[in-house]
Amino acid sequence: MSKPNLQPMQRAAPLVQLPALLAELGVEVDAVFDGTGISASDLRPDAFIPFAGAQLILDRAATLSGCDDIGLRLGRLRGIAALGPVGEAMRYAGTLGEALSDFVAFQLGNSNAAAVYLLRGSDDVALGYGVYEFVGNVSLHVHDLAMAVGHKVIAGLTLGAVEPVEIWSIRKAPADLTPYRELFNCPIRFGQSQSCLFLSHDSMDFALPSANRLEREKALGALAAYPPLAPWAAADRVRHALRSLMLRGRTSMPEVAGHLGLHARSLRRALLREGTTFDAVKGAVRYAVARELLALTPLQIGDIGMTLDFDSPSAFVRAFRRWSGITPTRWRTWFQSQIEPGAGRLTD
């Protein structure tokens, strides 16, 4: 029996301070929320809101306030509390690496539209954020918010002792770089294939001042009993995992199944019970990520295809034409003609 598609949702905790920030900026709060299906009172730490609405609210806040750095401003106000119950377990972890691993393991309880991941490279470790559900619009401010929250969380856990060595962002470079340079004391690269904070390998072993093994075990126990965002089925877990695995070039069914602790045959059967296939889920994630990269970045078509783990640019173009009916280049041109200036939101 197939499982009905669930609306992409997001824990509201990262947006809790938005009404107060809008008031401080002299923006009419109701004007930001009107027509979104979300009210300011919905922004509670334990509440979930539609992911599309969260993007729309951020875009409207940026437009009405004239602050292209609205995501940064909001993220600076939200530390580990923005992560929900997993934040408590992270607070008591022994090392920064253990805390961030907790975040990655349990973040799927915060969103069924975007994933947080850790990629360990030869030179550094990337703490990344990636959207894998396309909801009709994209928002560069969501990426700013995620990077600012990540920076604030790391600073809070380590009492400022650990700083990123470099930051990448999917969004195009803003006209005014000053707010970014003031917040991030490291090089920043815009228009990249992923949004992430690069950390040194040594920083993963940094001993957290708040480490407490007993309290961490209690927090993890409470987290396991916490009501989930949704009954996560096999397809949901595959979507969530693929967002980071494609950056490692590990998108085959055996590789994804192994990442999820399953045998490939078991995963195939689970997906069939839900009325779908691995290839269908993988194609949907690739299509969603492709559209975000085409909309928000200046990346070349070949670079986007490589990011999505295609064998060649032509293979990506053929797949995109199959999904959308047009080439990636034509889709990018069309999308840019449809969005409101300064935002990634489609006009009515």
Span of 75-89, 194-208, 216-230, 260-274 with lowest mean pLDDT? 216-230
pLDDT for position 228: 55
Furthest CA-CA distance within the chain: 57
> Which pair of structure tokens corresponds to residue 326?
């047009």
Confidence of residue 2 (pLDDT cuts 50, 70, 90): very low
Only one residue has tokens 């907790």, namely 102
DSSP per-residue letters across 57-103: HHHHHHHHHT-TTHHHHHHHT--GGGGTTHHHHHHT-SBHHHHHHHH
The model's pTM: 0.91
Residue 202: HSE in the Cβ half-sphere, 13 Å Cα cutoff:
4
Strand partners, 155: none
Write down the domain spans for the chain: 9-222, 234-338
Only one residue has tokens 């920083």, namely 203
pLDDT, tens only, 126-142: 999 999 999 888 899 99
Q: What kind of architecture, by CATH, is found in domain 9-222?
A: Alpha-Beta Complex (3.90)
234-338 maps to which CATH number? 1.10.10.60
Inter-residue contact 218 to 89 (CB < 8 Å): no
Task: Pick the closest to residue 164 from 137, 187, 195 (CA basis).
Answer: 187
* pLDDT of residue 345 exceeding 60: no
Task: Pick the closest to residue 146 from 65, 217, 74 (CA basis).
Answer: 74
Burial 69-90 (b: 16+ CB within 10 A, else e): bbbbbbbbbbbbbbbbbbbbbb
